[in-house]
Structures are given as C-alpha cells and as structure tokens.
Amino acid sequence: MKVKEKYKDYFKGKTYNITTFGCQMNEHDSERISYILEDLGYTKTEDRSSADFILFNTCLVRENAELKLYGQVSSLKKLKKEHPEKIIAVSGCMMQTSTAREVIIKDHKEVDIIFGTKNINSLVDLIFRYLETNERVIDISTDDVKDDYVNYNTLNDFQAFVNIMTGCDNFCSYCIVPESRGREESRRPSAILAEVEHLVEEGYKEITLLGQNVNSYGNKADFDMTFPELLEKISQIEGLKRLRFTTSHPKDLSDELIEVIKNNDNICNYFHLPLQSGSSKVLKDMNRKYDQEKYIERAKKLREEIPGIAISTDIIVGYPTETEEDFKETLKVCREIEFDSAFTFKYSPRPKTRAAKLTPIDDEIVQDRFDRLLDTIYPIFNEKNKEYIGKTVEVLLESESKNNPDILTGRTDTFKLVHVKASKKLIGEIVKVKITDNTSFTISGELVE
C-alpha cells in the first residue's frame, strides 16, 4: 500500500496512551486498539502528556463518564496547540450516538480522529487519512460488524477477555446500549472455541466471556447452541483453569445454566445478576421483563444449587418513577439476597432513551436514598467477607498493591479481592491463601506453603 510505504518509518519511537471508560466490553475494545497501534509501530506509555497518539475510548451508560471525558479532552487543548503533531482520537459508545459525537465535533477542535465501536478495524486507515490531509477524520458505522476472530493485546499474560456476542435487544428504558452497540449478534461457536483454545495454549489461566446479555447467546443465530451449551464446551478445554462470564440478565437465567456451573469445577462460583430495582412496579417501568418475585427465586436457586457462590449486582437509585415505597422494596431485596458486592448508581438520564422523557426526582431525595442503600449493603458485604476468615482459598495473583509493593492482590474464584504478602514473582500464579482478616470490600491473609 503506497501510503504505508510512505510512512513506514514514521511510527518508529512513537508512543500511544489509551484511557478507557466503562465496562469490560470497552476494555476489550481497547485491547484490540492497542494491538493495532503496536502492530503499526507504536509502543505503549502510561504518560498521556508525552504520548504521540492519545485515545479516549468512551462510555455512554453513565453521565459521569461522559462528563469526565469532556473534562479530560479539554485539558489537552494547550498540549495540542504546543505540539500539533500529536494525534488525539476519541472512540467508543459515545461516538456511536449523534448527540455526544456532535459535542466533540463542535466544542473540541483538538480532537483529530473520531470513530465508533464498529470501526476499530479501520483505525490504521483513519490514521493514514489524517496524516495525508491533516484534517479531522470521522468514521462512524451503523452496520452490524462481526469478526469471527480479531487479534488483540491482553491486559496481562494470564487473563483474557473473549467476546461471544455484541449488542443488545432488551431495550431497558434507561439504557443507551442498543443505540451505541447495536442489535444482538452472536459469534459462531467454532470461532469462540478456537480463540479460547489458542489462549489456553498460550498459557492463559483465566478467560472471561463477554456479552451485554450472555444468557441470550444464540437466540437469533443461524446455528443451534445455547449459552449453557457453549459454556459447557469451553469448560472442557484441557488446561483452562478458570472460566468467568458477564453480564447475565435475570429474565434469561435458566436451570440449565445453573447446572452447568454447578457441575464444572473450572467455572467460577461467582454470578453477576443485575437487580436494578427491587420494586416490581419500577422493574416494569424499566422494561426489565422480570419482577421482584422472579428475581428472588432465581438468586435463591443459585445459592441453593451452588453452595458458596458469590452474587453481585447492579442497583439504580432514583429512577424517575421510584417512590419511597419502591425504594424500600429495593432495600428489602438486598437484605433477603445478601449480595456479596454491588455496583450502585444514581439514575442519570441518557439521550434517546424512554426514561429521559420522564420528570427526574429531586437530587436531595436521590442522594438520601443512595446513602441509605450504602448503609444497608456495606454491613452485609462485611459479614459475607467475614465468613472467609479461617478458610484457605485459591487466589489468582494479579498485581502489586497500589499502596504497598510488598503486598499482592488477586481474586478468589468467587471474585473476592484478596491482599497477601508475597513475592511479585508469583503474579500470574494461583496460590493458596489462609484468610485472617476482612473489610467490607476485601479479604486478606497469609500464603500457605
């Protein structure tokens, strides 16, 4: 390719920096982008200001992430003016929707390249187009794009994400994902299995399967395979130590899936089951397609069939139709299920969603409910973690502690965050740790030789 030959030495010694907002799907997209940039000749740097290529991979699910993006991009205006040769790019879910994209186009002239979630494989061409013209390049596709296999850089050399599907067909009233990620589409089982087999052969110990709703895998496909069947096949791959998946929708949680988890030791005893609200009325308003009774039944079934399983959840406080009585129903479910952890959010309206047309609840009321929710669930987290004291658990050590390099952090198969004093040579290894202490968010202990 002529333009590649022209720039064959351009990328030598140049660096890139990626800032990722949002979910694990976005993290995996950043891994793909990282591979593309390094294949081009860039090397990674953690110092954004010194990087030659600066990219923000965006999230539109929460307003807070959107505001953070605008602030961080604005902070680069002076840097871009002083170093016009630097390339600044914005990608991801925010750019897939017109409202957020127009803000970047209109108010942030420092951004050189804008592309969406479905244009990652075009990044090299976008970079060359910018270098050729020195004019802003925008590439947003609305077509469903599915690659059976794409190369990517993983977070480390022992854990990897594998996409099994893209998009979502649930259309929850508050959620922008169907707009930003498109309609639901499942990858072929053969491609997924080949990818996991390759990763395991390369020495990866833990694989996390990704999808907006993994439980509905295969529903619209031209092949005959359900998610439990896929999970069973992947779990049989020789050498795979740990298998995780996220995210599950309560309406699609089947007994078959519970049985597969129960019967395969390398499928982690951890289940993320978003609640969003404990009120059946609010759940109906949210278009969640289950009620409180159904959710409690499914969560209890998990606990009964898989002893020791940890259940985490998502909870939204202050949905526009939520009353005080509705909120109390959420607290009731939290007490009854006793979640191990939770991602909690104050409702924020997202453009092009049905809920955005509703009248919001007063901020003070929402904050009061949010505080009461935390006051309810944090003691539960503490008690759940306290149950580990005296037990010996297997921990995949992931990294040094940010506060103490002599302490390593890792996860149990139940996704509990563990602190333990150990040599950093053990990072990437599964070790045994006897738990001696806990907080509401972590457990800690000593290595068992």
- Residue ranges for the binding site for [4Fe-4S] cluster? 23, 59, 93, 168, 172, 175
Cβ distance 443 to 395 under 8 Å? no
Q: Which residues in 9-33 are b (16+ Cβ under 10 Å) and which e?
A: eebeebbbbbbbbbbebbbbbbbbb
| Structure tokens belonging to residue 334 | 């939290």
> Phi and psi dihedrals of 96, rounded to 5?
-75, -15
CA distances from 94 to 50, 99, 119 (A): 25, 8, 13
Q: What proportions of the chain, in percent to the nearest 5, are helix, strand and coil?
A: 40, 20, 40
Q: What is the phi-psi region of residue 167: left when phi exceeds 0, alpha when psi lies from -120 to 50, beta otherwise?
A: left
DSSP for residue 438: E
Alpha-carbon span 375 to 371, nearest angstrom = 6
Strand arrangement, sheet containing 113-115: 43-44, 15-20, 53-58, 87-92, 113-115, 137-139
Q: What is the largest CA-CA distance in the chain?
A: 66
Place of tokens 């078959």: 256
Binding residues: 23, 59, 93, 168, 172, 175
First-residue to last-residue Cα distance in the chain: 57
